[in-house]
Structure 1
Amino acid sequence: MEIFSNSPLWLAFFAILFAQFVKVPIYFMVTRQWDWSLITSTGGMPSSHSAAVTALTTAVAYEHGTESTFFAIAAIFAVIVMFDATGVRFQAGQQAAIINQLRADLHFFLEESRTWAQKKEEEKIVELKTLLGHKPSEVFIGALTGIFLSVTFYWIK
């Protein structure tokens, strides 16, 4: 099957896996705590979205050249994905953090006025996910990761 010889596709997938895995040791270096849940989480350093789209775009450049329509499609796709990662998704995460704070404040008020302490954990409200998007530095490092992986692959190949 030709799909198994599609280097741009496999490099993009590998970049996602690599970026997700490397989040764990990076987080450990910063906090001195292991958090294996980062492998399946969104957000964080480096951006696996950026790593994937830049690995794909770089591989397409190697396979078809920068003057090809394929490269143009991949490059525009990469720009949109990285813009979204730093824009819409990051802002959604910021809004989720504010909503969580409002909910925590409301919860504190209710706890003081009622007997919330007697409720089971399952009955309490689950917080919204705040780590949806990326800081520009996370997108930049993710982009460099993807480019590095593709360049290394084609240099070795």
Structure 2
Amino acid sequence: MSLLEISLLSLFIAQVLKIFTTLPPDFSRIIGSGGMPSSHASFVSTLSTTVGLNYGFDSDLFAIVTVFSLIIIYDAGGVRRAVGEQANVLNHLIKHLELGKLGKEKKIIKKDLRELIGHTPFEVLAGTILGVFIALINYYYL
């Protein structure tokens, strides 16, 4: 498979696995961000590993892909997770304000802010391991 095809397959597999990491299984997770495993980490680690296997782990191309992969992984586990935590605090604050001082039917926002945006370190690690595993299977067996 091509670099793009195997990377997209890795992304798809990670998204499908998210359905079954909640009880009961939640089929809406297939299109959402956040959760276990990180599809961002899986996607870019498959790409980086495949480039390393095909072009050498000392190649300039591997270095470039790895730098961008690390940025994406950091963003998935760090920045986006912080945004989700802030959304959680804001949702609680807004509910408190609506119940306390604004009266019965007053709504500050129409719907809650999305809280499941980023990943825990474990979710990122699981996605990374999944991505490397898929790349190795593709390289050695497909």
* Interval containing the TM-score (normalised by the shorter chain): over 0.9
Matched, 1:14 2:9: yes
Gaps of 5+ in 1: none
Residues 82-124 of structure 1 show CA distances to partners (whole Å, capped at 9, x for unaligned) of: 11111111101100000000011112125xx6342xx8x9x96
In 1, Cα distance between equivalents of 2:80 and 2:21: 22
Counterpart position of 1:136:
121
Which of 54, 67, 71 lines up with 2:45 in the alignment? 54
In 2, Cα distance between equivalents of 1:144 and 1:93: 24
3-state DSSP of counterpart to 1:128: coil
Matched, 1:97 2:82: no
- Structure 1 segments, 4+ long, off by >4 Å, are none
1:52 is displaced (CA, Å) by 0.3
Relative to the length of structure 1, the TM-score reads 0.84
In 2, Cα distance between equivalents of 1:43 and 1:24: 12
Relative to the length of structure 2, the TM-score reads 0.93
Q: Identity, % of aligned pairs?
A: 35
In 1, Cα distance between equivalents of 2:18 and 2:29: 6
In 1, Cα distance between equivalents of 2:110 and 2:59: 51
Counterpart position of 2:103:
114
1:78 is displaced (CA, Å) by 1.3
The one-letter code sitting in structure 2 at the alignment partner of 1:18 is I
In 2, Cα distance between equivalents of 1:41 and 1:143: 18
The one-letter code sitting in structure 2 at the alignment partner of 1:140 is L
| Aligned residue pair count | 142
**Computing the radius of gyration over CA atoms, which structure comes out larger, 1 or 2?**
1
In 1, Cα distance between equivalents of 2:55 and 2:141: 18
In 1, Cα distance between equivalents of 2:3 and 2:127: 17
Bigger helix share: 1
In 2, Cα distance between equivalents of 1:107 and 1:21: 37
Q: CA RMSD in A?
A: 1.8
Which of 29, 35, 41 lines up with 2:32 in the alignment? 41
3-state DSSP of counterpart to 1:26: coil
